Amino acid sequence: MKGLVLAGGTATRLFPLTIVTNKHLLPIYDRPMIYYPLETLAGMGIREVMVIVGGKSVGDVVELLADGSHFGLDLTYRYQRGALGIAHAIGLARDFVGDDSFCVVLGDNILRGPALADVAAAFDAGAWDAGAMLYRVPDPERFGVAELGPAGEIVGFEEKPAKPKSDLIPIGVYFLRPNAFDVIEHLAPSGRGEFEITDVLNHFIPGGRLFSRVYEGHWADAGTVPSLLRAAALAEEDDQAGHLAPPPERPAG
C-alpha cells in the first residue's frame, strides 16, 4: 500500500497565520503540523508516500521533509495548481500509485490514539474499493456527513450540509484502489467549485463496496484556530502520558 499526504489549499480559516506560510508548517505542540499525517502513514507500515503541495511555501515544505528518510519513508512530491478540492489532488497521484491500493491522509489531520495498521491491512486484503475512517463530532455541518440507514449502514455522504443527518463524519483518512482515478476523472465540480471526496465515496456505496471504521482515538482537523489549539492540547496530553515519540531528527547535510 502507498500513501498520499495532501498539503495544498489556501487555509483562509487560519488567516492571518497563513498569509505568508503554508498551514501545514504551523506548529502543533512540538513539531510542524505535517509531521502528524506522515506519522499516521508510517504507523500503518506504509513506506512510499507522495506529498501533494500547493499554495505558499512549497519549497519550505520540501526543505523540511527532504526525502523522508528520517521518518522511515520514501517521499516524492507533486504540485496542485489552485484549491480544486481533495478529489482533484488525489487524481494527481495516478502515476505514483500505479496498480497499488493507497491511503490518503489530509495534511491537517491530527490523530492521537491507536495506530491504523490493522485497519489498513483489513482494507488491503478485502474486496472493498474505497474506505473511510469515521468520527463523531459536535459540529458535523463543517464537514462531509455520513447518512445512515436503518441498520446503521452508510447510505450516503453529504458535503457540509446545513442540516446534518448524523454526527458521524469521514475524517481525513481514506483508503482507495486505483479504480478511484476513473471515478475522479469523470467528476463534476460541486457548487463550491471543488472536486469533492464525498462524491468519490458515494460512488462506491452501492453493492457494499465502501469500507468504514469509527476511529476510537482522538482527532482534530487543525483547520481553524480553535481546532489548532485542540490539536496542540491532544499532543501535549500524549507527551505528558509518555505516548508521544520525539520528533524525528533530520539527517545532517
pLDDT tens digit string along 126-153?
A: 999 999 999 999 989 988 899 988 887 8
> Is the C-alpha dihedral spanning 9, 68, 178, 175 positive or negative?
negative
- pLDDT-derived band at 201 (thresholds 50, 70, 90) equals very high
C-alpha cell recorded at residue 47: 513506506
Cβ neighbors of 238 (< 8 A, separation 6 or more) are 112, 244
Domain borders along the chain are 2-240
- pLDDT-derived band at 253 (thresholds 50, 70, 90) equals low
- pLDDT-derived band at 46 (thresholds 50, 70, 90) equals very high
Looking at the chain, the whole-number percentage of residues with pLDDT higher than 90 is 78
CB under 8 A, 24+ apart: contacts of 187-193: 187/87, 189/84, 189/85, 190/85, 190/159, 192/85, 192/159, 193/84
Q: How far is CA 235 from the centre of its chain?
A: 18
Of the candidates 85, 41, 90, 34, the residue with the CA atom closest to the CA atom of residue 62: 34
How many CB atoms sit inside 10 A of residue 89's CB? 28
Q: Distance of CA 50 to CAs 89, 93, 173, 191, Å?
A: 11, 7, 15, 28
Fold held by 2-240: Spore Coat Polysaccharide Biosynthesis Protein SpsA; Chain A (3.90.550)
Residues forming beta bridges with residue 77, ordered by sequence position: 51
Report whether pLDDT(159) > 90: no
Q: What is the average pLDDT across 238-250?
A: 91
Quote the pLDDT of residue 56: 80
Supply the pTM of this predicted model.
0.94
Least confident span in 147-161, 177-191, 230-244:
147-161
Quote the pLDDT of residue 110: 96
Q: Is 85 helix (H, G, I), strand (E, B) or coil?
A: coil
